[in-house]
Amino acid sequence: MAASTDVFFRPFRIKSLDLPNRIVMAPMTRTFAPEGIPGAANAAYYRRRAEGGVGLILSEGTVIDRPASRNHPNIPFFHGDAALAGWKTVIDEIHAAGGKMAPQIWHTGSTKTATDWVPDVDVESPSGLLAPGRPRGVAMTEQDIEATIAAFAKAAADAKRLGFDTVEIHGAHGYLIDQFFWAGTNTREDGYGGATIAERSRFAVEVVKAVRAAVGPDFPVILRLSQWKQQDYSARLAATPDEMAAWLQPLVDAGADVLHCSQRRFWEPEFPEVDGENGLNFAGWAKELTGAATISVGSVGLSGEFIAAFGGETSQRTDLDKLVERMERDEFDLIAVGRALISDADWVKKVQAGDGEGLKGFSPAALAELV
Ligand SMILES: Cc1cc2nc3c(=O)[nH]c(=O)nc-3n(C[C@H](O)[C@H](O)[C@H](O)COP(=O)(O)O)c2cc1C
């Protein structure tokens, strides 16, 4: 018999944020914001997930006010009156449905998508590299860096002003902030580069500090991080627990309350050589090393992982027993669910009702519309 999922339905509180359960909707870019403006269809899409019982909704990545902060024309802005008015409608609808939500604030750095679209100014990144040895765009000046940090802070202040419950900074997956972390894309010789992960974290630390200053002490700040990069799935920023502590502790000290530790499969141990094949995952180690609250993620309820889904792979539904086990030992505080919530806005309600049979798998066809 499948394990009871009661452990997902314990409330969680951090600072001013009160959640009824531990299930978070993972941030997912949908490219359904024409001209960068979220509209009624986007608000209704998120509202259905709030009505479906999601504890905390993280928006798709939504970009800060920099000339080349996005890599696709239908990614929403998180700046400018029209886009912010759209986001205000989104959060008001979420609250009307009893939900909680954060925008995921983002800068795509020098990444590109499969489309031919490019911003009309050069893309920017720490060293003008897309990946090790692959030049693209320009290296940021110190003035660019300062303006970018200010733009993250402004976006966070706007999130709070519009009524969002918390904010997530996207520091993962090989986008701008992660390009500073990664030695392969940060070859700077000034104070934003360096041989150690602690040195290359300076940009992120300054972003977090500026965001913290902008939102005040009681508004929770979430920071999303990953070892892997879209440019290299096997890349790692921290090869040992000591390196991981040197990476994460300054970010927590700077004001990150929650670390959202992105993995493609939540059950994979981060350092199996230390604590075995059933050892702590990334979120588990992050919590253990820093004491911060953490969110885990990756293939919850599904047989296949999400990068393969972009390649057209369908996933079957799977049981949640391994997740229950890890949550019962409080390895991490919250669990993010991505594709399963694209397929089914009522996924949480069905899990709570024990309706395992009613859960769907994931088919990439579901990405074609906003339902
Ligand atoms: C369509 C799609 C878009 C995504 N966009 C983002 C994004 O904007 N920001 C982000 O941090 N992760 C993004 N991700 C990664 C998800 O947040 C999540 O980490 C990943 O899908 C693994 O969770 P899952 O296996 O439950 O789908 C995206 C994933 C998918 C499938």
Give, rounded to a whole angstrom, the gap between the first and last alpha carbons of the chain.
Answer: 32
Domain ranges of the chain: 6-368
**CA distances in angstroms from 221 to 15, 127, 256, 333, listed in the order given:** 10, 27, 5, 15
Residue closest by Cα to atom 4 of ligand 1: 28
Residue closest by Cα to atom 6 of ligand 1: 28
Q: Which residues contact 268 (CB under 8 A, 6 or more apart)?
A: 281, 298
The per-residue pLDDT string of the chain (371 residues; one tens digit each, 9 = 90 and over) reads: 478 999 999 999 999 999 999 999 999 999 999 999 999 999 999 999 999 999 999 999 999 999 999 999 999 999 999 999 999 999 999 999 999 999 999 999 999 998 889 999 999 999 999 999 999 999 999 999 999 999 999 999 999 999 999 999 999 999 999 999 999 999 999 999 999 999 999 999 999 999 999 999 999 999 999 999 999 999 999 999 999 999 999 999 999 999 999 999 999 999 999 999 999 999 999 999 999 999 999 999 999 999 999 989 999 999 999 999 999 999 999 999 999 999 999 999 999 999 989 998 999 999 999 99
| Pocket lining for ligand 1, CB < 6 angstroms | 26-29, 60-61, 104, 170, 172-173, 224, 262, 297-300, 302, 305-306, 309, 337-340, 367
Is the sign of the CA dihedral 121, 126, 128, 133 positive or negative? Answer: negative
* Fold topology of 6-368: TIM Barrel (3.20.20)
Residue 189 tokens read as 């010789």
pTM: 0.98
Active site residue ranges:
175
Pocket test for ligand 1, best of 178, 222, 263, 306 (most atoms within 8 A of CB): 306
The number of the ligand 1 atom at minimal distance from the alpha carbon of 300 is: 26
pLDDT at position 111 is 97
